[in-house]
Amino acid sequence: DYHEKAENFEVIKGNDSLKKISFTYPRTESDLTQVSTANFENFTKVNNISTVLNDIASERTSNEIWKWFIIATLLFLITELLIQKFVK
């Protein structure tokens, strides 16, 4: 019989604990068959890791918005300083 839920067991011989084992359910979690290559048809095959790293770096720098956050932060700081100076 198969277990219907995930459980942990301890194998005991006499008073000694020999090993701890676990069973998972459903058994598809432990499926060791190879994945079909049909799932990877839409992926690009790359022969060089430096090409991938360069592509990632160029995509990251092309759409960065960190500069706008720094400008907004500086504007808020200047506004806060002006409020503190003139409101007192």
Q: Kindly report, residue by residue over 8-61, the tens digit of the pLDDT.
A: 889 999 999 999 988 777 667 667 777 777 777 777 778 888 988 888 887 776
> Would you list the domain boundaries of the chain?
7-87
Specify the pLDDT at position 33.
78
Specify the pLDDT at position 27.
67
User: Can you tell me the distance from the alpha carbon of 76 to that of 79, in angstroms, rounded to the nearest whole number?
Assistant: 5
Specify the pLDDT at position 52.
86
User: Can you tell me the distance from the alpha carbon of 44 to that of 30, in angstroms, rounded to the nearest whole number?
Assistant: 29
Specify the pLDDT at position 62.
63
Specify the pLDDT at position 81.
95
